Structures are given as structure tokens and as C-alpha cells.
Amino acid sequence: MSKPNDLVQGTLDLLILKMLAFEPMNGWAVGQRLKQLSSEVLQVSDGSLYPALHKLEQEGWVTSEWRRSENNRRAKFYSLTRAGRRQLQVESGNWERLAAAISALVRLQEA
Amino acid sequence: MSVDRWLQKVALRLRSVLHRGEVEQELDEELQFHVEQQTVENMRRGLSPDRARAAALQALGGIEFQKEEVRDARGTRALEDVGRDVVVAVRSLRRSPGFTLAVVLTLALGIGANTAMFTLLRGTLLRPLPHRDGERLVYVRQSAVGAGQPNTNFSVPEVADYRAAARTLATIAEYSSSVPFILVGSDGAPARIRAGIVSGNFFGVMGLEPVLGRLITDGDDGAAAPSVAVLSHQYWTEHFGGDSAVVGSAVRLNGIVSTIVGVVQPAPHYPRRTDVFVNTVTSPHHLSASMVTERTHRMTELFARLAPEATVEQARDEVGRIAALLATEHPEAYEQAARYAVSVASLRQAVNERASLTFWLLMGAAAFVLLIACANVANLTLMRGVGREREMIVRATLGAGAVRLRRLLLVENLTLALLGGTLGVLVAYAGLRLLVAFASQLTPRAAEIRVDGVVLAVGLGTSVLAALILSFVPRIGGGRSLAAALAAAGRRTTLGRGGQRFQRTLVVTQLAVSMVLLTGAGLLVRTLSNLQSVDTGVRGEHVLTLDLPLSGPLEAAVMHQPENLTLYTGLRDRVAALPGVEDVSLASLAPLRSSIVSFDVKAEGRTVAPNEPTPNALFKTVDPHYFTAAGVPLVRGRAFAATDVRDGAKVVLLNASLARQLFGDLDPVGRRVAWTGEVLKFSPLSGDWRTVVGVVGDTRDEGLENAPTPSMYAPFAQEFIFGGTLVVRTASDPSALQPTIVRAIRDESPGQLIEGVTTLAQIRDETVAPRRLNALFIAAFATLALVIAMVGIAGVLAFSVSRRTAEIGIRMSLGADAARVKRMVLGEGGALLAGGLVVGLTSALLAAQLLRGLLFGVAPHDPLTLGVVAALLAVVGLLACWLPAARAARVDPAVALRAE
């Protein structure tokens, strides 16, 4: 249940890093933003979001601090670290190569 | 992954573990926030508040579940669990203090013995030599086994030949220590020192650096160079208190003014202890014509550095070929029957030649002790495991996986082993001084023994290894299904069949190992007692010896025979007048002291068979009282008399060995003998005929295990005097009289050097002492092993009895009496004992062969030792079985059956 079975393995990390690259945000907002930006195509289950965030934090790719949210509630805001930015580049590159390869395969004309 | 990135991750993980409460609270708050936001969002989509919140929670899978997921994701789970396991382990161990104490002590002794022996091994055998590239250093030795000389040294022409011919040896350094030296410092007090006369390239070849000043270099070679001296590190600290001002100061060495130019780094003293290194010019003898040109004037020892790519074996082959070539080119210098040969050994091996076998054996014995200690602890754990099977199953039922249970056990065992290990390392540390004292009798590297990081790491490693092994001994209910395990666990108090067999194997192993160690100890103790009972040839009780060396330049001093004689007889007569002194004698050397002053001998009218080496005898001068003072029996003829003086007829006494060698069964008294051979011309001795006036008993001067050396005695008053030794027989304890004697000598001759004050009993003991410690160590290990093995067998039987209580109850109610039950239990123990004895006897026969080199007067398969050891083991073993057997016999059938 914890695995993002609706997403390619490891892709969730990439998506979260990408979201946080725009601005620091709290966990809930990350989930909301993902849904909005992907026009609800990517259904990230709430259950897999927090384990992923905490794992990224332990890896040192994101860091967190407590801040006031828009509705003035204390919330844990995550932001990207320098190492995280590098990791984002690495993972984006990987993803693009993978996506290009798969696209090329899918477009192959059947004889 | 880069190092700082890794460190950063570690820091993050540590923070999560250390601030666990805070992290947990933050997680809770974060998830609550999410649920509230999502609830609001869901309400915005038109759900009722209750439904909105429920949906938000459901999306997360529940708060608590989500927390678990996050904790797992943080990857600190294992770390936190271990912390909890340690708490559980400590609690569980505190519940069974008897078990804990037994295990910790057993492991402490096992690990302590191993750490101690490893410390010994590492300091002496394993650590590289302190010399730069010490692995490339070799010691070259010339021997003449046929003439009974294991080390003849080399002459200057020989050194030149080897230098020119040996391609496998890059550089060859010379070292010579046979000249006695007296050092007079700025305070004017003379001290006898051991000096090494070295070539200028010595320190360069040896790869040694100065800690102060400079070392002797090529510029210090030759007759024109000023005399310089370099202190050994040990002598500098012991006699100059490590004072750096000593460098640059002048001292007199045998009367020659020499400048101390430096102190060399600490390094093992080989082949013998050296206090001061001097250049060649400091010893006029080494510049004399005969020393430089005579092939038989052998006074130099050789150290060499292997050429690049060359191996010790190659060097040995090449040097052997050169030696053979030299022997054919100069037949007069290499007597056939003396069997001259040259060997090359790596310095590292040469230095530890005497220690190597002993230390490895001790290490092996210690490893055996650890082995049976582990076997015992495994047994204890096994028995405890049975009682805990229920606990394990309950834990498994409550959701602990097999891995988790295994880890719990591992943590428990680690706690035990580390406690034992720490205690063991402390034991080893406490025994360090004893260890160094022991090692210094066998190797010059003893000073390098210390407990360092590597030793501690090995102690720690041993503990962890022991814990790992122990953790896989008890089976955890993982093999069977949980239901089956639960069903069985209610009444299960016994081991499975496999467990029992394993337990018995452990006990048999313990007994066998004890048998091996006891046999080793037994053989060494017999060796010791054989050595103790060797007749030294002297009556050593109540005899004190004092060396009184001549001072000043020896070569000149020797020429003043009349003055020296007056000095020594004056000292002797002064001591003889002291109350409590029974007899005093003057001699060139103390009895039982080995000597290198030996020459070839010939007997008038006797020829030596061509295949036999020329007889060679030690040269000793003694006064008429020597044989009564030292208690050496006169076998034939007469001892020396006061009339045997310098101008009188030249007379000698032979010891029994020499008399037999020269004259066979003939009576030597009245026949004539003379010193002869090449080497004689380098000494002030004459080759005149001397008349044999008597034969005296042999003395064991080369150690108790070696045969007596042929010796010839001349009257002290008749020959050159190289120095004197007083041999004092006292009425009672000689050490009590020692201060009085020393004071009398100082009174008579204030500047007189007094050295080597020791009793004959002490000299005799020098051979026995290392072996005594040796035997003591092995015996201690063997005793330890025996005790552990006995606890082991008793424990297993006790366990067996307690598990068979019901069975015994049934047997008794069916008519078996107490004696029969006792016999049954004893039979069980007896079977184990018999198994242990059979395996032990076989192993002991094999293992004892390794001891061969350390034994004296006893064969490795000595039936008496083996028999006594087997009997001892059987008796003690049966006693150990008696306790549980007696307990079994006291079982009350009614109680036993009701308990069921």
C-alpha cells in the first residue's frame, strides 16, 4: 500500500523534488499541487506522500522548517537543499532518457 | 558517495534517533495538519464534516499506520530497535544473574587469555621490525658444527670475499662484540659495557635513524678517523637518564677517548644486547695486522640487506656456493671435519628464533581455552534457550519476526560477550608486565610488547565473533509452524534430538581439548623436573660469584700479569678473612658461565683420525681453591697447588669430557698436552707442552640441556690474567653476606668494578626460568580448560536429570532404587567421559609432536604423562558427575509424578 503502485517506481521522488523546486511547501500542498498540475492524471495517494517526504529528508535532499500556512496554522514546510537540486537534475535526466526510449519503442511501426 | 555526504546522512540519522520524542511529535502534528487541510478540502467538495474527516483519514490509511510507514521510510528503525533490544537484553540478563556471571567470567578468561597471547605474538612475531624496510634484512651466520661451534663469525678477508661475490646481498654491514669494554664517563666511575664495533655502513644497512645527534657513517671508518660512539636507546635511558646533553661529551672506552655523537632509535638487540656502538678505530685489536689479513681470525658478524628482487632463499643458495668455493680455495682455513657452512636467515626470523615455537604454542593453547569456553557458554545458552522457548514463541505470536528474534538473541549475546571481552582485555592488560618479563627471556623484541589499537580490535573482534556463534546455537521456533510450536511449548522442557547430540558433542570436545592441554602441561612439567634434576657438576648451594673486571685498556692491562695477580690475590685474601666465608677462589670465569674463549688442543703422542675435527677446549684459569669452593669433584690426580706459579713447570687439569676425548680410557695424569691451531697466534697464550696433573668433573656451562663442553684448566697464577671472578662459598645464605663482601672489596681497591654478582643457584636457574614460565602458562590454561570442562559436563548432566525427573520418578515407583538411578546418571556421564578421553588421547598424541622442540628428557608420546593425565581427567570427571547423580538419587517419586 505504501508503494506508489500508480506511478513508475521512484518517480514520486522526482515529482516531489520538482514541486519543491518552485517554492517551499507543506506536505498537503505538495499533494494538491501534483494533482492540479497533472490535471488529476497522476493520482498520488496521500498514504505514500509522507513516507517519501521523510525519506528525502533523511537523504538530505530536502530540509524542513515549521512556518505559518496561508490560513495561519503551524505547518511543516519542505524546501530543496543544494544536494536536492543536484539530485533533481540527475533524476530529471534519467527520466527524460527513459521516457524518450519508451516513446521511441511505442511509436515503432508494426510491420 | 563522498565522505561529507555520508557524514551528513549519518548526522541526520543520528538526529532522528537522539531526538526521537521531538521527531515523533512533529510527525504527529504534521499528519494532523494534513488531515485538517484535507477535511476542509473534502468539505469544500460537499461532504459532511464527519464524512470529510473520515475520508481524509482513510486516504492516509489511518494516522498510526501512516506513522509506522513514515518511521520505516526514515530508515532509522533498525537503530531504534537495537536500542530497545539492549534494554530488553539487560533486563533479561539481570533476571538470571547466575547465568550471566558464569558466562561473563568464562568468556573473560577465554578472551583475556587470547588477548594476552595475541599481545605477546603481535609485539614480537607479527609486527614488522622497527628498521626501515626491515623485511629485507638478513643475518649471515658461519658455523662449524663438526667443531661444536654454531657461530664462528667471519674474518675480515672473508667479509671482503662475500662483499665482492654476493650479488643477492646489496650491502653487508659488520658488527663485532667479542671485545670487553670498560666505559669511564665524566664522573670517573668505570662501568663494564657491551660494545658493538661496527663498520661505517652499519646503521645505513640496518635502516636505523638517530633520535639524537648522528650515527656512525662511512666517514668514521679507517685508522685515521677519531673514535666515536653511539648509544643504544636502552643504555641512554637507563644510564644517562635520557639526558640529551650527553651527545657531544667525551668518554673513555678501554682508555681511548671517544666522543658520543648520537643515540640510535630503539631496536631489538641482536644477536646480543649492545649498550654502545663504536667505530673500528675504538678497538685497536680490530686494526691489528692479524685481524685484517688472517682468514681464520673470525670476530665479525654480518648483517646484510637483500638486493632488489632477491629472496632469502636465493641469497642462501648463493652464499652457500661462495662458502664452498672459499673452502676449496683456502683449505687451510676450513678444516674438513669441522664442517664449515654459511647460512642466511631473515633478521625478523633470526630475532625470534627461540620465541617463535613457544609463542605460537601458547597462542594455540589460548585459542583452545576460548574454544571450550565458547562451548560451555553455548551449552549454558542452549539450556537457557529451552526455558525461554515459550518466551520466544510468545514474542513470535505478538508479531516479532524470526529476524527480529534472532537479533534480540544476538544483542543479548553481544552484551554478554562485550562484558566478558572488556573484562578479558583488562585481565590481559594487568598481566602485561609478567608477559614482557617472560618474553624478554626468549626474544629481544619484548620491549615492543604493548596493548595497542590492533590488540584491542582483536579483543573486540573475538567478542563479537563469540556472540555471533552463540546466537546461532539455540533454535528459534522458526523451523516449525507457529501453531505446532505453541501446542508443544506448554510442556516442553527438553531439547530436540539434534540439540542433545550437539550438546554431547560440545562436552566431548571440551574434554578432548582439556586432555590435549593437560598433556602439554604434563610434558612441560616433566621437562622441568628433568632439567631440575640434571647434575650441573658443581655444588651450587651457598656459592656467590662476583666478576671483577680489569679496568683500562685490556690489551695493555693483560700484560701486567704480576700486578694483576697481586691485586686479585689481595682481594681474595681480604674476602677469605671475612666471618661466614668458608672458601674463596679466583678464576677467570664463574662456574656454569658459558665462554667463547676456546682453542684447539693436541695430546702428545696422539693423532686425530682424519675424519674427526681437532679437539677444542674452553680455556679457564683457576686458583687452587676453585674446585673446593665451587664443589667440582676431583676425579684423578691432584688439584692445583700454591707452587704452580708463573716460573714453575706448566701444568693443567682436564675436565672428564676432554680427558675422554684426548686419551680415551688411558690415565691422562702425567701426560702432556698443548694448545694449538690457527687462532692461538691471536692470543697471548703459548703453545708449549703442559703436564696434566689431574682430571676434574664436568660442569654444564652451556645450559642444563646441553652436554658439558670439553675444558682445560690452567693455574690462575701461571697464565695471563684477563680479569678475575671471585667464587665464594659461605656458611649460610650467600645473599646475606653479599653487602659485606662488596664492602670488603671496595675497601681493598676503591675503584674496582664489581659486576655479575649472583649465586650459582641463580646462574643455574637462568636455563630453567623461561621453561618454568612456559610450563606455568600452559598449566594455567590446562587448569582453566579442565575447570570449564568439568562445569560443562556437570551442567549437562544436571540438565539431563532435571528434564528426566518424571522418568526417574516412574522408574523408582516401579522398583529402581537410589543406587541404580545414580548408576544410570553416572553411566551417562561416564559415556561422555570415555568419548572425551578417546578423542583427547588421539589429539594429544598428534598435538604433542609440536612440543618436541621444547621437551627435555621426555618423549612427546610419554606413556606415563598420558596415563596420568587420562586418569586425572577420569577421576575429576566422575567427581563432577557425582553431584547431579546424587541429586537424581534423591528424587521422590511421588513429588516427581505429581509435578507432571
Give me the DSSP letters along B319-333.
Answer: HHHHHHHHHHH-GGG
- Closest C-alpha to B417, from B163, B109, B713: B109
- B605 three-state secondary structure: coil
Q: Do B73 and A1 touch (CB under 8 A)?
A: no
Task: Considering only the beta carbons, identify the residue of B9, B27, B37 that sits closest to A59.
Answer: B9
Best-predicted range by mean pLDDT among B37-51, B446-460, B576-590?
B576-590
| B window 10-29, beta carbon within 8 A of A | 12-13, 16, 26-27, 29
- Same domain for B591 and B733? yes
Put simply, whether B70 touches A (Cβ < 8 Å) is: yes
Contacts of B32 in chain A (CB under 8 A): none
**Same domain for B141 and B285?**
yes
Q: Is residue B888 part of a domain?
A: yes
Identity of the residue in B27, B31, B75 whose CB atom sits nearest the CB atom of A58: B75
Q: Which residue matches cell numbers 675424519?
A: B611
Residue A75: list chain B partners with CB under 8 A: 30, 33
DSSP B707: P
How many angstroms separate the CA atoms of B71 and B781, rounded?
A: 50
Q: What is the pLDDT of residue B66?
A: 84
Confidence class of residue A33 from pLDDT cuts 50, 70 and 90?
confident
Mutation target vs B (from A54, A70, A74, A90; most B CBs, 10 A cutoff):
A54
Write out the three cell numbers for B147: 667443531
**Residue from the list A47, A58, A59 with its beta carbon closest to the beta carbon of B60:** A47
Q: CB-based contact (8 Å) between A52 and chain B?
A: yes
All three cell numbers of B745, joined, read 672489596
Q: Report the range out of B262-271, B547-556, B593-602 with the highest average pLDDT.
A: B262-271
Last residue of a domain, one of B326, B351, B376: B351
pLDDT band at residue A85 under the 50/70/90 scheme? very high
B635 at A interface, C-beta within 8 A: no
Average pLDDT over residues A16-33: 89
Asked if A6 has any chain B CB less than 8 Å from its own CB, the reply is: no
Residue B517 forms part of a structural domain: yes
> Is B46 domain-assigned?
yes
Closest among B645, B720, B653 to B680, alpha carbons compared:
B720
CA pair distance B180, B182, nearest whole angstrom: 7
Q: Which of B450, B443, B448 is nearest to B355 (CA)?
A: B443
pLDDT, mean of residues B407-426 = 86
Average pLDDT across chain B, whole number: 86
Average pLDDT over residues B531-544: 88
Collect all residues of chain B within an 8 Å Cβ-Cβ radius of residue A50.
Answer: 30-31, 34, 60, 66, 69-70, 73
Long-range CB contacts for residues B95-101, cutoff 8 Å, separation at least 24? B96/B384, B99/B380, B99/B384, B100/B416
| Model pLDDT, residue B71 | 80
Residue A81 has pLDDT above 60, yes or no: yes
- Which residues of A are less than 8 Å from B30 in CB distance? 26-27, 50, 75-76
- As a whole number, mean pLDDT of residues B206-225 equals 93
| B129 DSSP 8-state letter | P
Whether residue B36 and residue A73 make contact (CB cut-off 8 A), yes or no, is: yes
**At B186, which amino acid appears?**
S
* Separation in Å, CA B363 to CA B110, B337, B753, B850, B880: 12, 41, 43, 13, 28
User: Is residue B549 very low, low, confident or very high in pLDDT (cuts 50, 70, 90)?
Assistant: confident
Inter-chain touch A73–B33, beta carbons under 8 Å: yes
Query: How distant is the Cα of B31 from the closest Cα of chain A, in angstroms?
Result: 8
Residues of B in contact with A76 (CB under 8 A): 26, 29-30, 33
d(CA B356, CA B345): 14
Question: Comparing C-alpha atoms, which of B710, B642, B643 is closest to residue B673?
Answer: B710
Confirm if B173 and B253 have CB atoms less than 8 A apart. Answer: no
Residues B839-860: pLDDT tens digits?
999 999 998 888 888 888 899 9
Average pLDDT over residues B109-114: 88
- Confidence (pLDDT) at B346: 94
Model confidence at B477: pLDDT above 50:
no
Could you tell me if B728 and B636 lie in one domain? yes
Count chain A–chain B contacts defined by CB atoms under 8 A.
Answer: 75
Residue B13 sits in which domain range?
3-75
Which range (A40-44, B362-366, B455-459, B547-551) has the least confidence? A40-44
At B130-163, the pLDDT tens digits run 999 999 999 999 998 887 788 889 999 999 999 9
Task: Dump pLDDT digits (tens) for B711-770.
Answer: 999 999 998 888 899 999 999 888 889 999 999 999 998 888 888 899 998 888 887 887
Mutation choice for A interface testing from B14, B33, B35 by most A CBs within 10 A: B33
pLDDT of residue B154: 94
Instruction: Give B484's pLDDT tier (boundaries 50, 70, 90).
Output: low
Rounded to an integer, what is the distance from CA B838 to the centroid of its chain?
A: 31
* Last residue in a domain, options B294, B325, B351: B351
Closest chain A residue to the Cα of B8, Cα to Cα: A60
Residue A6, pLDDT > 50, answer: no
Rounded-to-integer distance, Cα B367 and Cα B364, Å: 5
Rounded Cα distance between B407 and B396, Å, is 13
- The set of cell numbers assigned to A24 is 517551499
Per-residue model confidence (pLDDT) at position B412: 84
B74 vs A69: CB contact, 8 Å cut-off?
Answer: no
In 3D space, the residue among B455, B459, B439 whose CA is nearest the CA of residue B447 turns out to be B439
Distance, in Å, from the CA atom of B169 to the CA atom of B156, rounded to the nearest integer, reads 17
Task: Kindly report the number of other CB atoms within 10 A of residue B319's CB atom.
Answer: 25
Residue B10 has pLDDT above 70, yes or no: yes
Residue B260 pLDDT more than 60? yes
Lowest mean pLDDT among B333-342, B662-671, B706-715, B788-797: B788-797
| B-chain residue closest to A3, CA distance | B69
pLDDT score of B496: 64
> Helices B805-813 and B760-803, interaxial angle, to 10°?
70
The DSSP symbol for B475 reads P
Please give the Cα distance from B791 to B103 (Å, whole number).
Answer: 12
Q: Which of B752, B779, B809 is the last residue of a domain?
A: B752
Helices (H), B804-817: 805-813
Best of B30, B45, B57 to disrupt the A interface by mutation (most A CBs within 10 Å)? B30
CB contact under 8 Å between B34 and A46, yes or no, is yes
User: Is A60 an 8 Å CB contact of chain B?
Assistant: yes
DSSP letter for each residue of B522-544? HHHHHHHHHHHTS--SS--TTEE
Of chain B residues 365-394, which have a CB less than 8 A from chain A? none
What local confidence, expressed as pLDDT, does residue B850 receive?
86
What grid cell was written down for B395?
514474542
Q: Which of B110-119, B579-588, B674-683 has the highest mean pLDDT?
A: B579-588
Indicate if the pLDDT at residue A51 is higher than 70: yes
Q: What percent of chain B has pLDDT over 90?
A: 36
Same domain? B748 vs B769: no
Q: Does B64 touch chain A (CB under 8 A)?
A: no
- Name B524's Cβ contacts closer than 8 Å, sequence gap at least 6: B771, B774, B775, B778, B779, B851, B854, B855
B249 and B272 housed in the same domain: yes
pLDDT in tens, B342-376: 999 999 999 988 888 889 988 988 888 888 888 88
Of B246, B254, B219, give the one whose Cα is nearest residue B230.
Answer: B246
Say if residue B632's pLDDT is above 90.
Answer: yes
Residue B77: per-residue pLDDT: 64
For the stretch B57-105, pLDDT in tens is 888 888 888 888 888 777 666 666 777 778 878 888 888 787 888 888 8
Amino acid found at B45: R
Has residue B291 got a pLDDT over 50?
Answer: yes
B812-838 per-residue burial string, b: 16 or more CB within 10 A, e: under 16: beeebeeeebbbbbbebbeebbebbbe
Q: DSSP string spanning B71-112?
A: HHHHT-HHHHHHHHHHHHHHHHHHH-HHHHHHHHHHHHHHHH
Helix (H) or strand (E) holding B677: none
Closest CA to B367 of B594, B146, B170, B117: B117
Please state the rounded mean pLDDT for residues B426-450. 85
CB-based contact A46 B60, cutoff 8 Å: yes
Q: Chain B contact for A99, CB < 8 A?
A: no
**Domain assignment present for B519:** yes
The CA distance from B158 to A53, in Å, is: 82
Q: Same structural domain for residues B162 and B182? A: yes
Tell me what pLDDT residue A47 has.
82
Predicted confidence at residue B553, as pLDDT, reads: 65
| pLDDT grade for B606, boundaries at 50, 70 and 90 | confident
- Secondary-structure breakdown of chain A: helix, strand, coil percentages, each rounded to the nearest 5: 55, 15, 30
B857 Cβ partners below 8 Å, 6+ apart? B526, B527, B530, B531
> Closest residue of A to B68, CA-based?
A51
Which chain A residues are within 8 Å of B33, Cβ to Cβ? Answer: 26-28, 69, 73-76
Q: Do A50 and B74 count as a contact with CB atoms less than 8 A apart?
A: no
Domains in chain A, CATH or no CATH each: 11-106 (1.10.10.10)
* pLDDT attached to residue B401: 67
- Reply yes or no on whether the pLDDT at A9 is more than 80: no
For B62, the closest chain A residue by CA position comes to A47
Res B387: pLDDT: 67
Residue B488 pLDDT exceeds 60: no
Residue B573 in any domain: the answer is yes
- What is the structure's pLDDT at A1? 37
Question: What pLDDT, on a 0 to 100 scale, did the predictor assign at position B375?
Answer: 83
Residue A3 confidence (pLDDT)? 39
Decide if pLDDT at A7 tops 70: no
- Which residue from B minimizes the CA distance to A59? B9
pLDDT of B592 higher than 70: yes
**Do you find a cis peptide bond into B553, omega within 30 degrees of 0?**
no
Residue B198 pLDDT greater than 80, yes or no = yes
Say yes or no for a CB contact (<8 Å) between B8 and A73: no
Residues of chain A with C-beta less than 8 angstroms from the C-beta of B31: 50
The average pLDDT across A51-78 equals 87
CB A44 within 8 A of CB A52: no
User: How far is Cα B136 from Cα B314, in angstroms, rounded to an integer?
Assistant: 13
Contact across the interface for B9 and A60, Cβ inside 8 Å: yes
Say if residue B209 is in the same domain as residue B347.
yes
* Same-domain pairing of B814 and B684: no
Please name the residues in contact with A59: beta carbons below 8 A apart, sequence gap of 6 or more. A83, A87, B9
Would you give the distance in Å from CA A31 to the centre of its chain? 9
Question: In this model, does residue B492 exceed pLDDT 60?
Answer: no
Q: Are B620 and B714 in contact (CB under 8 A)?
A: yes
CB contacts, 8 Å: A73 with chain B: 33, 36
For residues B267 and B335, membership in a common domain is answered with yes
**Is A21 within 8 Å of chain B by CB?**
no
Same domain, B338 and B194: yes
Please determine, for residue B581, whether its predicted confidence score (pLDDT) is greater than 90: yes
Question: Which residue in the set A1, A28, A73 is minimally distant from B61, CB to CB?
Answer: A1
Phi, psi (deg, nearest 5) at residue A31: -60, -45
Read off the pLDDT band of A8 (50, 70, 90): low
Considering only CA atoms, which of B190, B833, B19 is closest in space to residue B548?
A: B190
pTM reported for the whole predicted model? 0.72
Tell me if B436 sits within 8 A of B430, measured CB to CB: no
**Does residue B797 lie in a domain region?**
yes
Residue B113 domain-assigned (yes or no)? no
Angle at A24 between CA A19 and CA A30, to 5 degrees: 45
Is the predicted pLDDT of residue B474 greater than 60, yes or no?
no
> B732-757: buried (b, 16+ CB within 10 Å) or exposed (e) per residue?
eebeebbeebeebbeeebeebbbeeb
Contact B38 A28 (CB under 8 A): yes
Q: Report how far residue B384's alpha carbon sits from residue B395's, in angstroms, rounded to the nearest whole number.
A: 16
Residues B175 and B295 in one domain: yes
Is B76's Cβ below 8 Å from some Cβ in A?
yes
User: Whats the size of chain A, residue-wise?
Assistant: 111
Q: Show residues of chain B in contact with A69, CB under 8 Å.
A: 33, 37
- Name the strand (E) or helix (H) holding B352: none
Instruction: Count how many domains chain B has.
Output: 4
Q: Distance (Å) from the C-alpha of residue B69 to the closest C-alpha of chain A?
A: 6
Residues B311 and B173 reside in one and the same domain: yes
Burial of B163 (0-12, 13-18, 19+ CB in 10 A): middle
Q: What is the pLDDT of residue B37?
A: 87
Element housing B751 (H / E): none
Nearest to A55, CA basis, from A19, A14, A96, A5: A14
A57 touching chain B per CB within 8 A: yes
- DSSP-assigned letter for residue B147: G
The whole-number pLDDT of residue A4 equals: 40
Of A1, A27, A83, Cβ closest to residue B34: A27
Nearest-CA distance from B66 to chain A in Å?
Answer: 7
Instruction: Determine contact: B227 vs chain A, CB below 8 A.
Output: no
Does residue A54 belong to the interface with chain B, where contact is any CB pair within 8 Å? yes
Average pLDDT on B207-219 reads 95
